Amino acid sequence: MNTIISYIDENKDRYVDELSDFLRMESISSSPQHKDETFTCAKWVETHLRNIGIDHVEFIETKGHPIIYAEWMGAPGKPTVLLYGHYDVQPVDPIDLWTNGPFEPTIRNGDLYARGSTDDKGQVFTHFKSIEAYMKHHGSLPVNLKMIIEGEEEIGSENLQTFVRENKEKLKADIVLISDTAMYAKGVPTICYGLRGLSYFQIDVTGPNRDLHSGSFGGAVQNPAQGLAGMLASLKDKNGKIKIPGFYDDVRKLTKKERDAFAKLPFNEKKYAKTLGVKELFGEKGYSTLERVWARPTFEINGMWSGFTGEGAKTVLPSQAHAKISMRLVPDQDPKKIAVLFKKHIRNISPKNITVTLHEMHGARPALAPIDSLGVSAATEALKKGFGKKPLYQREGGSIPIVVTFQQVLGATPVLLGFGLPTDNPHSPDEHFNLDNFHNGIKTSAYFFDTLADMSK
Ligand code: BES
Ligand code: ZN
């Protein structure tokens, strides 16, 4: 093990340079203009896996972006780990708020800045580099390894769902290892055991057949922006409760044990509010902030646009108004059922004088992972060595749509071993990845494979 760790230490700077190459590719999965660049990025992953010593690499084209599948099965009798990660990234808007270009990786104060640095290229790369250390140094890994690196996580992983269902036997694994979450705080290694689900919609509202002079016509017709705003406002009451009938029916109640565990974590509401730049926190009454973001469902407006938004004033009554909304879901809510309830409710509250159209976008099922598994035990030991401290176990508010499919279709137990930080700005301008976490993450990954092999003797 020592020689593996020395190899990782010696190659530290080269690893950062290679990660920077990975980050230069604009693999924005939701953007049709970036389709070629996303393909190039997938090809880069394929080549990189071969370069680090994995011979069996498959480049799988889908209806959307390619999936990279790889395997190394040279440890008979040892567990099989399925490493999952994604090479696609979120859009970069608002671009003006980036200190450097989102695809010009730059190091400042020990952090590497670029879109995808923490979510998820940097995190997935920790494993590529520990695998490299084993393959270049020993020519073998301590466990069997399968890998799925996909390009559609940020848009719901639909094509991967199909791939997994159609390749059940091939993908069979004991453990699915994912580094796509954050640690509780810097210096606090963390294993995540819960993710929220998601249901996402675009709402399009049409009123008059063209933009109108707001003086000549204002007062005569319903304003679509007002109609949309009214509907959206009615979806949440002043206590933060969501007003869609049936929405909470399947929400699993938090146990006293879990509430107590959340309450024990150091959490300063004032400091948290301050770092977010808000006057005070707001959320569902009766729940703490950690409960609200990890274990309660939400309704959020992600974006709204209508009428004149340019500089200066233009007196206009818009013809159209639009919003993108998402609902984060918790066990045992089903995104399909929630989508049906949402559509029904919107139909019921739509004013008759405007036309409301709903476009269902992606969804994700909420996930819970056991923490008394072999994989989590190995990850716990690995974090102790890689970060020098015992980890804590927490849930997360974000979603990774494929996790439940891995559990249900492959029977694999998830290990959510995140190396990000809550302050990394994923999905925001100036996303970054802490280079200490990158380096310790690579070591942790190496210790994980070693410990897992040891534990299954
Ligand atoms: N890495 C995130 C998931 C995540 C976010 C974990 C925050 C922990 C904390 C992932 O890449 C992501 O952002 N997923 C999307 C999925 C969605 C588009 C279906 C998300 O959660 O918005
Ligand atoms: Zn991610």
Residues 208 and 105 in one domain: no
**What pLDDT score was predicted for residue 100?**
98
Residue nearest to atom 14 of ligand 1 (CA): 399
Indicate if ligand 1 lies below 6 Å from the C-beta of 400.
yes
Task: Report CA(450)–ligand 1 centroid distance (Å).
Answer: 29
Decide: 234 and 243 in contact? Cβ < 8 Å: yes
Positions marked catalytic: 88, 153
pLDDT of the residue at 97: 98
Which of these three, 348, 364, 380, is where a domain ends? 364
Tell me: do 131 and 246 sit in the same domain.
no
CATH for 139: 3.40.630.10
* Ligand 1 atom at minimal distance to the Cα of residue 86: 11
Tell which of 364, 391, 417 closes a domain: 364
- Residue 371 exposed, middle or buried by CB count within 10 Å (0-12, 13-18, 19+): middle
pLDDT of residue 457: 81
Mutation pick for ligand 1 pocket among 300, 400, 431 (CB with most ligand atoms within 8 Å)? 400
Out of 323, 338, 364, a domain closes at: 364
Spatial distance between the Cα atoms of 369 and 376, rounded to a whole number of angstroms:
9
Ligand 1 close to Cβ of residue 88 (< 6 A): no
Residue 287 lies in a domain: no
What's the 55 CA to ligand 2 centre distance in angstroms?
26
What atom of ligand 1 comes closest to residue 363's alpha carbon? 19
Take residue 405 and report the two structure tokens written for it.
């499919």
| Number of domains present in the structure of the chain | 2
Q: Are 300 and 399 in contact (CB under 8 A)?
A: no
Ligand 1 pocket check: which of 30, 124, 180 to mutate, most ligand atoms within 8 Å of Cβ? 180
Q: Is residue 285 part of a domain?
A: no
Q: Which domain holds residue 439?
A: 2-195+366-455
410 in any annotated domain: yes
Residue 197: helix, strand or coil by DSSP? strand
- Ligand 1 in contact with 68 (CB < 6 A)? no
166 and 84 in one domain?
yes
120 and 202 co-located in one domain: no
**Is residue 326 within 6 Å of ligand 1 at its C-beta?**
no
Structural domain includes residue 373: yes
- Whole-number pLDDT of residue 93: 96
**234 CA from centroid of ligand 2 (Å):** 32
**pLDDT of res. 414:** 98
Ligand having the closest approach to the CA of 366: 1
3 state DSSP class of 357: strand
Mutate to test the pocket of ligand 1, among 150, 153, 192, 330 (most ligand atoms within 8 A of CB): 153
Cβ(364) – ligand 1 distance below 6 Å:
yes
Beta-strand pair 175-178/80-86: parallel
From first to last of its 457 residues, the chain has per-residue pLDDT tens of: 999 999 999 999 999 999 999 999 999 999 999 999 999 999 999 999 999 999 999 999 999 999 999 999 999 999 999 999 999 999 999 999 999 999 999 999 999 999 999 999 999 999 999 999 999 999 999 999 999 999 999 999 999 999 999 999 999 999 999 999 999 999 999 999 999 999 999 999 999 999 999 999 999 999 999 999 999 999 999 999 999 999 999 999 999 999 999 999 999 999 999 999 999 999 999 999 999 999 999 999 999 999 999 999 999 999 999 999 999 999 999 999 999 999 999 999 999 999 999 999 999 999 999 999 999 999 999 999 999 999 999 999 999 999 999 999 999 999 999 999 999 999 999 999 999 999 999 999 999 999 999 999 8
Radius of gyration of the CA atoms of the chain, in A: 23
Do the Cβ atoms of 353 and 231 come closer than 8 Å? Answer: no
Q: Does 271 map to a domain?
A: no
Regarding whether 247 and 179 lie in a shared domain, the answer is: no
Question: What pLDDT sits at residue 160?
Answer: 98
Same domain, 173 and 215: no
Instruction: Name the closest-CA residue to atom 4, ligand 1.
Output: 398
What pLDDT, on the 0 to 100 scale, is given for residue 417? 98
Cβ atoms of 332 and 175 closer than 8 Å: no
Looking at the structure, tell me whether residues 374 and 352 fall in a common domain: no
Q: How far apart are CA 153 and CA 205, in angstroms?
A: 29
Are residues 296 and 330 in contact, defined by beta-carbon separation less than 8 angstroms?
yes
Q: Are residues 213 and 351 in the same domain?
A: yes
